[in-house]
Structure 1
C-alpha cells in the first residue's frame, strides 16, 4: 500500500506493508463519499466532511481504475479556517494590484488559469470575498462548490442530470446578476 501526500507542493511517499487493508480502506472511503462501492471500472468523484480537533474538513475524493486496483486521491479543504484574502494568494504585488484594478471595473472578464494546486481556487474565492457586498448579486457555477459563501448564489454542477456549465450559464443571464463566476470552461458552448 503506497500512501502519497502533497504538502506545500512537494510529494511525500510512505509505503505500508499492510497490503491486505488496501481494498477495505478504499471501500470505506467510497462509502463515506457516497460513491458506488461496486463500481471499480469507472472513475468516480465524491466528497465527505469530517471534524478534526473541532475543525470542519471537507474532503473531495476521486477514484481512478488502474492496473493494480483503484487509485484514490483526496483533497482536504479546511472549512473552519475560512477563506484567504487576496493578499495571501501568493500573487506578486504588481499582479495583485492589476487584478484589483480589473475587479473594480464595472464590466469585463477575468480568466484565472493554471495547473492543479497553483492557487486558482484561492484566487477566485479571494476575489469573490472582495466583491461580495450587499449591493451586488453574485452567482457562481462550480464543480464542486468548495466553500460556501454568504450572499452568493452558488450552483453545484451535476452532469448526471444534465446540469452543465453551459446550461446553467444560459439561465444565469436571466437571474439579474452583477457578477458571474464560472468555475471551469469545459466545452465550446460554455466559452461562447
Structure 2
C-alpha cells in the first residue's frame, strides 16, 4: 500500500493490504477496515464506522471513487466483493442491516443504498426522534450494474447480472438478468431476451 501524507486515523491502517492505495485525502475512521489486494480508495472518500457500527471490507481489485461515503452504524456492516467499482458521489449507509455487494458489480455515480427506513407514524414525536426500522439487508449479486442515481432500499436483493436504469428506486427484489427502471423500479425485460411476466 502506498502511504502519502498524514492520515486522520493511522492506526486503522493495520489490516490493509500492502498493495492497495488510499489517497492521503481520504477520511478514514474505521478500526475494522479490511482491504484486499490492489484496492483503490480515491480522494475525498469517507469510510466511517460509528462506535456501534460494523466493519467495512473491500475485496481485491475493487475501487471506490471520490466523494463516496461508506458509513456503518447500529451493527450494520459493508462488504464489497472483488473487481467491483463504486463511482463518485455514492452513499452506502449500513444502519441496522448490512450492505453486501458481490464481484464485478458496477455502481454508477450518485447511487444510494440504505438498509433501513426512518419511522414517521408517531404524530406526537418529531420525525428526527422516531426509530429506524429495517426489512433486512441489501444484497447486490455478482455482475449487476446500477445506473446513475439509483436508490436501493432495505430488504432488497438485486440478482446476478441485473441492470437497473438511471434514477430507479428499488423497493423489492429484482431477479437475475432482469432490466429494471422507474420509481418504484419495475422489470421491463431480461438481458437474455426474456419478457417480464
Shorter chain as denominator, the TM-score bin is under 0.3
How high is the TM-score relative to the length of structure 2? 0.26
Per residue, is there more helix in 1 or in 2? 1
Per residue, is there more strand in 1 or in 2? 2
Larger radius of gyration: 1
How high is the TM-score relative to the length of structure 1? 0.26
